[in-house]
Structure 1
């Protein structure tokens, strides 16, 4: 009589840390293998605080799983798997490079099975069926299909409240005060594991970007649940109104700060949107605020994940606007003191100090600046991946190449997203203290965003004129009497 075969261990990557992965019924009897690879951190430059989050998350999970976990510290993943001496099961990693590596390990017998990635609501096969042979996509269409498929904010066949999208209710400028005055976000309490992570990072001879700082994001399932609960209880109601606003003295505002725990797979997206929907049903949050939050999770995040795979490996080489300017040193170095424009300086400071700013500084300050100046989109994509604590390989290509830089020619966004200083003046509190005047496009006090907007419009006038969403800007540019002087000024601008 033969005994029951011991199942192969489950190998978890650093962004596969949630119980819906390691404690799913199919894995209940498996040992868990967690490998902290020095080579993985050394391979590409990254933010110091991102390295801390990844290491802390893996070590906290190993500690929490106790005897069930085997925690390995090795130069590379293959070294640890060879030393383990048993094949492992693994879920599909979140990047093409890691996926190719895992399949190579399977060919070598070190991996016995590669399972689908369980960290998104929609499977890749279901997305492929939905997408068909289409080449261009719009998020709103995808988002509505997601709502129907998963029955989120639906009343039968109709959207709850009668509207699919409350975006027009969520674009208010910041109030005339220093902070929103809402409840503090949930903050983690560092422990002995974090202390050891920090000591080990200090000892590594690696070129991290950014600066060290207190851990700001959840790295365990329990912490992530606390962060989610705090957001739903204290800040969801005020999230929607000022979703697109920026406040210099209140960087978190009412944002959830859940991108890190979601991207570490500490929470499943359907659990997050289910809890948010419950807030509408019980009357603790209104539909406009909650729909805006759910759209970020069930719509945008899922959309970006699937387009990363669907568009293929050549997508990052897209450069429809023929942008080839190298990123300047001050941008690479996250040096806010080298920048005069208050909005750009403070945003760089946020990236340096915490590896995170919310979606509007990413798109309408960092991205808009890069678009106006013609920064190379592939280099910019890698910059965002490296310096943002939630910036994994799958996150940034479509966000940067498609949405921010329009380098894919419109495969996922209908127009380039850029603006003059008037938008920043309306949606932030930066301009009142800035040396530049958002109304000025010529002279020493000319706002680089205002002047840059018209230089960009002139450079791409033929393309913009053919797009009904941007044709008016080209027409307006034709009435500028100082256009030649502006173009000469911007061609030689060295100070931002």
Structure 2
């Protein structure tokens, strides 16, 4: 008889099983949600996905609901195995359980051995995603120029904005209704959630996720290159697939998605300018972040090179978008409150940029992203927030801080239209909090940032002593109050 496979809550796709008859264990632990407030919609999605997987597997699945994982495992008499967990804490626990076999990782394209071989090669300078992406493309033979279309594709000749049909709807069922009742009961029993409840917006099964992916590849991928970095009040998703939670729950494997996007380019239905950034997100950034999580030492999470020590204010932590007047921040914070998701540009340029400018503790910012986003996981938020957005790791992930002022936000969004603040102004009642915050960030961290040529030029341009002192005094007065 095969060992019973323990499927963790982020290992729910078909690629985490080998034998169609293998028995399966799934475990719900309510105490995990007691430790810190989690977005209500994220909690709903996790429980819904677990229970839907159990329903799909039928008699093969044993679904246990206990206070701890150890208590659940003690109830199972069968020999157990589990695929390599996706966090250090879960891996430590799995290795501490007598008789539990830990299998190699799944759900990623590049192996840890292959990454270590690339990372440990003789080189100059720190690890960079662009270098890894070139390695991964060669290693897996993705987007090889010789096999691409030799003519201008139909997608490249299109003009005007993308207006795709809506994706296949998410239809809640009895499982979702029971999850909602359980979460209501947990909340009444003292389990804290943040954000608003709402209908389930994201796939909880492989079939739902695959239908959404097929729709994206057909209707949204052609415009992805043009609109991936744009922020819009009217269409928060734009050309994005909104499938990050499906990949991170293990409902989808990234390699078939990469191959399907590549095939769209070969068939001439999507231009390379759209296909390449989508593939770079999966084969490049996603793989890079996963590998860095295991390659870097555990102490990386506590990195704080910029000595940022300010606590995150309550209004931000509790997603109080109604307290905010700055149009961009109010809209993006409301999106997190209402949907537990925004795409990467508002995460970096609006949310994380605001935290960076004000010197909030990087670990608190990373924890907030992990709890409040439906796709939040330790291995993503570690390098993305600690390194990339908060620049707390001395440039081990990115070459410069992800800090911009209001004019940069204005350039790629429609947020500044109708906002009470003026993106070009750093001083006064109409000063954009991002422009004043950016200058204050540069002045406070001058000694640490002068090695970056672009930031040094920014400092020279804005660094008159009277102006500098006025900006620093203004931003200190603003403090942690909502902008």
TM-score (structure 1 length as normaliser): 0.91
Q: Secondary structure at the match of 1:71?
A: strand
Q: Which runs of 5+ in 1 are unaligned?
A: 1-5, 163-168, 170-174
- The equivalent position to 2:61 in structure 1, one of 69, 73, 95, is 69
List aligned pairs for 1:260-275, cutoff 5 A.
260-275=245-260
Note if contact 1:161-1:287 (Cα within 8 Å) is conserved in structure 2: no
Aligned to 1:464: 449
1:323 to 2:308 alignment = yes
- The equivalent position to 1:190 in structure 2, one of 155, 162, 172, is 172
List aligned pairs for 1:212-361, cutoff 5 A.
212-361=197-346
Q: Secondary structure at the match of 1:34?
A: strand
- The equivalent position to 1:122 in structure 2, one of 110, 114, 118, is 110
Once the two structures are TM-superposed, the CA of residue 442 in structure 1 deviates from its matched residue by: 1.1
State the Cα deviation string for residues 86-122 of structure 1 (Å, max 9, x = none). Answer: 23110111000000000011xx33x1x1001111001
Aligned to 1:83: 75
List aligned pairs for 1:327-406, cutoff 5 A.
327-406=312-391
Aligned equivalents of 2:31, 2:352: Cα separation in 1: 30
1:94 to 2:82 alignment = no
Aligned equivalents of 1:208, 1:87: Cα separation in 2: 36
Once the two structures are TM-superposed, the CA of residue 424 in structure 1 deviates from its matched residue by: 1.0
- The equivalent position to 2:424 in structure 1, one of 431, 436, 439, is 439
Once the two structures are TM-superposed, the CA of residue 288 in structure 1 deviates from its matched residue by: 0.3
Aligned to 1:199: 181
Q: CA RMSD in A?
A: 1.8
Aligned equivalents of 1:420, 1:262: Cα separation in 2: 32
Distance 1:335 1:154, change over 3 A: same
How many residues are matched?
A: 468
Q: Secondary structure at the match of 1:360?
A: helix
Higher deviation after alignment, 183-192 or 246-255? 183-192
List aligned pairs for 1:125-140, cutoff 5 A.
125-132=113-120, 136-140=126-130
Aligned equivalents of 2:36, 2:71: Cα separation in 1: 19
Aligned to 2:5: 10
Once the two structures are TM-superposed, the CA of residue 465 in structure 1 deviates from its matched residue by: 2.0
Note if contact 2:149-2:267 (Cα within 8 Å) is conserved in structure 1: no
1:143 to 2:133 alignment = yes
Q: Secondary structure at the match of 1:129?
A: helix
List aligned pairs for 1:101-112, cutoff 5 A.
101-105=93-97, 108-109=98-99, 111=100
Q: Secondary structure at the match of 1:432?
A: coil
TM-score (structure 2 length as normaliser): 0.94
Note if contact 2:21-2:60 (Cα within 8 Å) is conserved in structure 1: no
Q: Secondary structure at the match of 1:469?
A: helix
Aligned equivalents of 2:142, 2:345: Cα separation in 1: 26
Aligned equivalents of 1:395, 1:256: Cα separation in 2: 18
Aligned equivalents of 2:149, 2:407: Cα separation in 1: 33
Aligned equivalents of 2:168, 2:455: Cα separation in 1: 41
State the Cα deviation string for residues 209-244 of structure 1 (Å, max 9, x = none). Answer: 111111111111111110000001111111110111
Note if contact 2:370-2:381 (Cα within 8 Å) is conserved in structure 1: yes
Higher deviation after alignment, 71-80 or 416-425? 71-80
Once the two structures are TM-superposed, the CA of residue 181 in structure 1 deviates from its matched residue by: 3.3
Q: Secondary structure at the match of 1:395?
A: helix
Aligned equivalents of 1:187, 1:418: Cα separation in 2: 37
Once the two structures are TM-superposed, the CA of residue 445 in structure 1 deviates from its matched residue by: 1.1
Aligned to 1:155: 145
Note if contact 1:340-1:495 (Cα within 8 Å) is conserved in structure 2: yes
Aligned equivalents of 2:352, 2:33: Cα separation in 1: 26
Aligned equivalents of 2:50, 2:408: Cα separation in 1: 41
Note if contact 1:187-1:217 (Cα within 8 Å) is conserved in structure 2: no
Q: Secondary structure at the match of 1:240?
A: helix
Q: Which runs of 5+ in 2 are unaligned?
A: 151-155
Aligned to 1:3: none
Aligned equivalents of 1:432, 1:354: Cα separation in 2: 24
Note if contact 1:186-1:231 (Cα within 8 Å) is conserved in structure 2: no
Displacement over 4 Å in runs of 4+: 159-162
State the Cα deviation string for residues 390-427 of structure 1 (Å, max 9, x = none). Answer: 00111101000110000001011000011111011111
